[in-house]
Amino acid sequence: MLKNSVRFEKKIRNRWREKVREKNRRIVELEERIARLEKRLSRARERIQEAVVDRETKERKMVALMIGDLGMSDVKEPEMIRMNEEISALSDDELDRMLASRLGLKEPVDGQELEEALALVSEPERASADGPGGFTGAPDMSHEPRPEEREG
């Protein structure tokens, strides 16, 4: 009877140990999977951030090209806001195609080629990036006052 009892306890203990080992293996697998998923998520977040920055750069360069095309050196705030809104409304593909067209690039546009061409586009200085469209609404005092701005 005692031998059977000892054998039974040993069998239960071995089964319990095997279940613990199996559970520990599963925990290790899940931890490794979590680490891989966290890395993927981190890379995805970086790509999204780069895309947002890249989109903002493309929009600014497009505004610079439009200002250059129109031959405007002193753009009024409402006109600048309108241009920014129009450009922001474009899809990524539309913006890329429009930039490629303005820069004389052939379609389909290679990202590296577009980036290199955009680096050559100079952006106009902005009065301020505080308000909508980069304007504060305050008058630009970086120049001599115009006749209509002079007092008396």
CB contact at 8 A, 116 and 99: no
Mean pLDDT for the stretch of residues 3-26: 93
Mean pLDDT for the stretch of residues 73-87: 80
The structure's pTM equals 0.47
- Would you list the domain boundaries of the chain? 2-120
Each residue of 11-22: pLDDT tens digit?
999 999 999 999
For every residue of 25-89, DSSP letters joined together read: HHHHHHHHHHHHHHHHHHHHHHHHHHHHHHHHHHHHHHHHHHHHHHT-SS--HHHHHHHHHHHHT
How much is the pLDDT for 34?
96
pLDDT bracket for residue 139 (50, 70, 90): low
Each residue of 91-136: pLDDT tens digit?
888 888 888 888 888 777 777 777 777 777 777 665 444 444 555 5
Is residue 37 pLDDT above 90, yes or no? yes
